[in-house]
């Protein structure tokens, strides 16, 4: 059922936490990876701030791609589509940033996301996690929805004393300050880094080009 | 006549169900496949939410294309045009999502859609079917229009007790939770999967390129 | 003079019928075919619905192009410009759809349109003709303008009893349900189909490419 | 001085006639031809209707280019910029259509426009001239500005009886129904047609390609 | 300091004159030339009319580029960025046209602009200078800002009698009717023309292509 | 914590100073360099003036790139993403210009920015620093946030007498008039210039092309 935790670990599917005038709500975020040209598509009646948070998430992920086992040229050969159902409900704000990063990393690496985890936090271009609003309402929604673990920004840890005890007992709440911590908790296994030396790759590419050009020039 | 069930099984033509202030209505959805470059065109005075539901439907279909017997590179060689008559009537909302998927799959595979079936349901990027509003009005419109079978979201099954008996007797109502079930009921035959191993294809492509480059480099 | 039937059969010039607050009016639709890249340009202060009806007309025509004697790759080598004078008068609505189809088919095939015919009807992506409003006013305008034959949607035939006798006597009124009937009446001669087997063409293309690649690879 | 007839015959400079709430005015239209890719740029605070009239003028000119001595592929190698000073004054409407055609033909052919001629008339995609408003005010402005000859739409000839005698005596007023008549009067000499057989050109191009491909395939 | 004459002759930096509700003001216009693809970028909160005046300036400069010593294909290899500080102040109107031309010519030729000159005047696509408003306020601002020489449109010379004597004594005021006069006064030296025969260049290019194609075809 | 000085010297991270209705605030500016095609992406709910200031900063940096040790063609192989958290807070104005320049230079050169420096100032296309508003509030925010050194526009030095003594004692305030001074203070080390002779590079490129073309033409 929609509004509950996922039933199995899935690739690209992450549970975010939204805060609306009527309380907190689980936000299902879905990403797909398609053959393409490095484009990002977003759907789900997303506001500009949420779209920009997806842009920032995407650039951050590209910037650390060798850490994730992905060679940078790979990005030019695929498109990513991020969708946030329900399609008729407007959504906005930056607080799904770390969920967006997790979703994108999952589809790129093919590593599933743990089904009983939810998360909230703005992400910066360096992967830092910024604080969010509505912590209490979001935690209540997580508990209601069957979530076991919630990742929150470290800067929101100061708000935990105001959270009811039953919520704190029913959930494992983990403050995080960087997206790398998020990935450690959210992915069912960690990606293996790949070596990528940008300068060396460029030099090798230039050498191959020059060789091939030389061959062409001396053809007879 | 417009507003009635189709007279024959057709490729790319699917009957959706709309819900307006004056009741339910049959919605004829038409897709065409044209030689092209992987573009999607939509017409029929469609609102942004409906356009996004077509985007999501399209990405979902691309993501499962080998299941449908279509090799992914095929998409780069064709455009799809989805039109929803009547052209002067504004239409919006996500509930035609599963009809959009069906229409796109039908034009891609060339398999006709059963003429006496109608359907309603939002689709997610993973092909899950989300609940919709106006179930009673939509079922009444289906009955009035000569439809025999209606696919509805499993999450709307809970609303069936409120539907008048004569409607439930005049229609076969099938709750579905995933688009794969939709296709089983809606297409006159099922597509045959094709094998597609992305990693193997990429390796083969790279090998062909390297061979051809080697040949060029040693030309004399 | 503008507002009257054309003086000679012309390629790409079709008379539509508009319905405004002050009555019906003849609508002159002009199409030109130019060397290009498969683009469609529209001018004449056209509203979004009319522009979409031109899009639908264009896709329909492309989808049946072998029937019209045109091989699909031809479309990538030409642009079509559809203009509706008078340029300062706003125009909208889907009811010029079948006139748009006729105009596009005429410029593509080079076959002139009969000068004393007018037409009204929305077109679907499959070439079906949907009903329109303002039938009486449109027929009066046609009679006034010297038109001899008017094509109307079959679904509007039920409105004919309300049309004054002098109008029905002064005009040949032909109900049509598909654009193929429209073309039979409107073009001065019928196009000759060309054979086009998409799968065979693609296979042949692939074969030529592979041969040429083989030659290049074994060059020495 | 601005607002007067030009002092010499110039390439690409045409005098149109505008009609504003405070009377008629001379409208100087300037076109430039630049190396490029077939693009049209327009400046001078032009409204959408005037921009569309430039689009229509441009397509018409392209469609008759062999008549003007210009082979169609030439268009892909140049851009045209149409500017209407004064840059801060909004301008709109379709009545400068025939002046736009004249300006574009002049820059394409390099043939100057007669300096003492002005013109007004909407143009269709076939080069027909449609009637305009404000004839009296426009003719007064032409007389005031030192213009000798004014081209007007044939459909406006019926308005000439209402024009004051001194205006009709001070100007040579020539009604025209097609742009070809406009060019005869406005250009200082007539362009020489070039032969262009589209089908033959395409066949020749295809032959050259096939030959060159054959050579490549048999290279050894 | 901003709002004063420049301290040295610089490439691409021109002083324009603005007229606001609170009086005249010096307007610093900066252009940069970057490796690129023939694009024009504009920044500085510029209104549409000022952006169009930059477009017109740019097209005019391209049209006379051999006069300036620049071969037309050069334009395809560079971008130009025109910026008007201060970035938060909205600016509009066509009267900076001749300053835009001067700035673009300076960056293209690398010839500095005289530091103690200011200018105002709309430019047409043929390089003619049209009159502007606010002459008195602009001249006062020039005097205040330490400017020595001001170029004004010839059509504004009629307004000079109303200018206070001290202003006319403190400034050298030069009426100009064409941008070529502007460049003579504003650039520290004049560009040397280069020969460019468009028809000959095209023929030579075609010949080179044909030769190279011939070589390829007879390769063995 | 956000709103405080950075904890370490980082590449691409610069502290700007914002001025809002409720006082001054530290503004964290982040840039990333990604493999790409010379595009600039900006996020963080930035207004048009701030986006234009990033454009100007970017063009300035490109124009002096050899000074920074970067050969101009390098720009065509990378994209830059500038993000200003927090994503939900609207930001505008030109006063972050010099911070944008610093951030872009840092990611291009890989040289970190000093963590205890903040800066404010509009930048022109020539790298000049223009004055800003809200100096007092900005300096207070810098002091509060643990900043040690603040770069301000030289034209704002006249406002220093009005700044409270404790602020001036707690901060090193450095007036700057050109971005080159900014970089000297902000980067932990200075970039080493690379030689780049545009004319020579173009000639060499042309020579290589001609040689390679000659080889192809004489192949046998
Ligand atoms: Ca909900
Ligand atoms: Ca931490
Ligand atoms: Ca209806
Ligand atoms: Ca189920
Ligand atoms: Ca009319
Ligand atoms: Ca029928
Ligand atoms: Ca005027
Ligand atoms: Ca005539
Ligand atoms: Ca100022
Ligand atoms: Ca003069
Ligand atoms: Ca804040
Ligand atoms: Ca200084």
Residue E94 to chain D, least CA–CA distance (Å) = 6
Active site residues of D: 95, 138
Reduce the DSSP state of residue E130 to 3 states and report it. strand
The domain ranges of chain B are 13-193
**B219: pLDDT strictly greater than 50:** no
Chain C neighbours (≥3 Cβ pairs under 8 A) are: B, D
Q: Distance from F112 to chain A by nearest Cα, in Å? A: 14
The phi and psi torsions of C170 (rounded to 5 degrees) equal -80, -15
Share of chain C above pLDDT 70, in %: 91
The half-sphere exposure of F115 on its side-chain side, counting CA atoms within 13 A, is 9
d(CA C203, CA E167): 81
Catalytic: A95?
yes
Could you write out the DSSP letters of every residue in F85-142? S-TTS-B--STTHHHHHHHHHHHHHTPPBPTTEEE--EE-TTSBEE--S-HHHHHHHH
Hey, which residues of B are catalytic here? 95, 138
Condensed to tens digits (0 to 9), the pLDDT of residues D158-176 reads 999 999 999 999 999 999 9
Name the band, by pLDDT with cuts 50, 70 and 90, for residue E4. confident
Per the CB < 8 Å rule, is E10 touching F126? yes
For all residues of chain B together, what is the average pLDDT? 92
D155 inside 8 A of chain C by CB:
yes
Whole-number percent of chain E with pLDDT over 90: 83
Ligand 9 centroid – CA E91 distance (Å): 11
pLDDT exceeds cutoff 70 at C212? no
**Range 84-113 of B in CB contact (< 8 A) with C:** 85-88
Chain F, nearest residue to A153 by Cα: F1
Helix (H) or strand (E) holding C74: none
Q: How far apart are CA D108 and CA E214, in angstroms?
A: 31
Return the minimum-mean-pLDDT range out of A93-107, B5-19, D141-155.
Answer: B5-19
The CA distance from B85 to the nearest CA of chain C, in Å, is 7
Neighbours of E168 (CB within 10 A): 14
- Residue-wise DSSP of chain B: -TTS--SS-BTTEEEEEEEETTEEEEEEEEEEEEESSS-EEEESSB-HHHHHHHHHHHHHHHHTGGGGT--GGGGGGEEEEEE-S-TTS-B--STTHHHHHHHHHHHHHTPPBPTTEEE--EE-TTSBEE--S-HHHHHHHHHHTT--EEEEEGGGGGGGGGS-HHHHHHSEEEEESBHHHHHHHHBSSPPPP----HHHHHHHHHHHHHHHHHHHHH--
pLDDT tens digit sequence for A82-137? 999 999 999 999 999 999 999 999 999 999 999 999 999 999 999 999 999 999 99
Interface confidence, given as ipTM, is 0.91
Angle at A93 between CA A89 and CA A95, to 5 degrees: 110
Residue E219: band (very low, low, confident or very high) from pLDDT cuts 50, 70, 90: very low
pLDDT of residue B214 exceeding 80, the answer is no
Instruction: Inform me whether the C-beta atom of residue C127 falls under 8 Å from chain B C-beta atoms.
Output: no
Of D53 and D201, more confident: D53
> Over the stretch E143-200, which tens digit does the pLDDT of each residue have?
999 999 999 999 999 999 999 999 999 999 999 999 999 999 999 999 999 999 877 7
C216 in contact with D at a CB cutoff of 8 Å?
A: yes
Tokens of B91: 């239409």
All residue ranges of chain F with pLDDT < 50 are: 218-219
Whether B15 and chain C come into contact, CB under 8 Å, resolves to no
Q: Which tokens sit at C48?
A: 């979004």
How far apart are alpha carbons A95 and A133 in whole angstroms? 8
What's the CA gap between C129 and C114, in Å, rounded?
A: 20
pLDDT > 90? residue A215: no
From B104's Cα to the closest Cα of chain C, the distance in A is 14
- Average pLDDT on B54-83 reads 96
Task: Calculate how far, in angstroms, residue A185's C-alpha sits from the geometric centre of ligand 11.
Answer: 28
The distance of C77 to chain D (nearest Cα, Å) reads: 10
Pick the CATH number of E13-195 from 3.30.230.10, 3.40.50.300, 3.40.190.10, 3.65.10.10: 3.30.230.10
Average pLDDT for residues A27-42, to the nearest whole number?
95
pLDDT (mean) for E25-50: 96
Classify residue B157 by burial, with Cβ atoms within 10 Å: 0-12, 13-18, 19+. middle
Is the model more confident about B96 or about E20?
Answer: B96
Q: Which of A83, A113, A204, A219 to mutate to test the interface with B (most CBs of B within 10 A)?
A: A83
- Over the stretch E68-80, which tens digit does the pLDDT of each residue have? 999 999 999 999 9
For position E210, what pLDDT does the model report?
Answer: 63
| Dmax (CA) of chain E | 83
* Residue A145 clears pLDDT 80, i.e. is over it: yes
Which residue in A108, A81, A84, A105 sits closest to A29, CA to CA?
A84
C-alpha F184/C-alpha B9 separation (Å) is 74
pLDDT of residue D4: 72
Mean pLDDT is lowest, of A144-158, D96-110, D199-213, for D199-213
**How many angstroms separate the Cα of B154 from the Cα of each of B60, B119, B131, B137, E147?**
19, 12, 7, 17, 79
Q: What is the pLDDT of residues D98-147, one digit of tens each?
A: 999 999 999 999 999 999 999 999 999 999 999 999 999 999 999 999 99
* Per-residue pLDDT tens digits for C170-198: 999 999 999 999 999 999 999 999 999 87
Quickly tell me which residue has 């009679």 as its tokens.
Answer: C143
Torsion of CA C100, C101, C105, C111, to 10 degrees: -70
Does the CB of D212 have a partner CB in chain E at under 8 Å? yes
pLDDT of residue A89: 93
Distance of alpha carbon A79 from its chain centroid, rounded? 15
Q: What is the reported pLDDT for D20?
A: 85
φ, ψ at B7 (rounded to 5°): -90, -20
> Which residues numbered 23-82 in D keep a CB inside 8 Å of some CB on E?
28, 30-35, 41, 43-45, 81
Residue among A58, A95, A103, A106 flagged as catalytic: A95
Q: Do D55 and C30 lie within an 8 Å CB cutoff?
A: no
pLDDT at F67: 95
Predicted local distance difference test score (pLDDT) of residue A1: 53
Closest chain B residue to A107, measured at CA: B63
d(CA D151, CA D14): 12
Q: Please identify among residues 160-189 of chain F the ones whose CB lies closer than 8 Å to any CB of chain E.
A: none
The arithmetic mean of pLDDT across residues A197-214, rounded, is 69
Q: What is the pLDDT of residue A219?
A: 46
Pick the CATH number of D13-193 from 3.40.50.720, 2.60.40.1180, 1.10.340.30, 3.30.230.10: 3.30.230.10
For F149-165, letters b (16+ CB in 10 Å) and e give bbbbbbbbbebeeebee
Helices H / strands E in chain C, number of each? 6, 9
The pLDDT tens digits of the residues spanning B118-171 come to 999 999 999 999 999 999 999 999 999 999 999 999 999 999 999 999 999 999
**Cβ-based neighbours of C173, under 8 Å, separated by 6 or more:** C139, C149, C150, C152, C160, C163
Computed over every residue of chain C, the mean pLDDT equals 92
Architecture of domain C13-194: 2-Layer Sandwich (3.30)
Task: Give the pLDDT of residue E126.
Answer: 95
Distance of alpha carbon D112 from alpha carbon C13, whole angstroms: 32
Sheet holding C23-35, edge to edge: C40-43, C78-83, C23-35, C13-20, C117-119, C149-153, C172-176
- The DSSP annotation for E60-116 comes to HHHHTGGGGT--GGGGGGEEEEEE-S-TTS-B--STTHHHHHHHHHHHHHTPPBPTT
- pLDDT the model gives residue E7: 82
Question: How far, in whole angstroms, is CA E118 from its chain's centroid?
Answer: 12
Q: How far is the CA of D3 from the centre of ligand 7 (A)?
A: 7
* Minimal-distance CA residue of chain B relative to C48: B45
Catalytic residue among E138, E148, E158, E212: E138
Q: Which residue has the higher pLDDT, B184 or F5?
A: B184
Task: Report which DSSP code applies to C43.
Answer: E
The lowest-confidence range among A2-11, C148-157, D24-33 is A2-11
Q: How far apart are CA A196 and CA A200, in angstroms?
A: 8
Mean pLDDT of chain D: 92
> Nearest to residue C79, comparing CAs of C109, C42, C110, C38?
C38
Cβ–Cβ < 8 Å for B175, B153: yes
């Amino acid at each position: 059922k929609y509004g509950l935790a996922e039933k199995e670990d899935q690739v690209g599917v992450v549970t975010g936490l939204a805060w609306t005038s009527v309380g907190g709500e689980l936000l299902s975020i879905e990403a797909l990876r398609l053959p393409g040209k490095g484009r990002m598509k977003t759907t789900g009646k997303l506001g500009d701030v949420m779209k920009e948070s997806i842009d920032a998430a995407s650039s951050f992920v590209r910037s650390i791609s060798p850490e994730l086992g992905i060679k940078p040229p790979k990005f030019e050969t695929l498109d990513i589509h991020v969708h946030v159902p329900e399609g008729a409900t407007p959504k906005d704000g930056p607080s799904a940033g770390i969920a967006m990063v997790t979703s994108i990393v999952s589809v790129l690496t093919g590593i599933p996301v743990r089904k009983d985890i939810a998360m909230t936090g703005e992400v910066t271009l360096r992967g830092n996690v910024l604080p969010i609003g509505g912590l209490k309402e979001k935690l209540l929604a997580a508990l209601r929805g069957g979530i076991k673990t919630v990742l929150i920004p470290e800067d929101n840890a100061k708000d935990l004393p105001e959270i009811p005890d039953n919520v704190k007992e029913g959930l494992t709440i983990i403050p995080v300050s960087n997206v790398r911590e998020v990935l450690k908790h959210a992915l069912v296994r960690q990606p293996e880094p790949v070596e990528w030396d940008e300068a060396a790759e460029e030099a090798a590419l230039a050498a191959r080009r020059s060789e091939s050009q030389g061959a062409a020039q001396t053809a007879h």
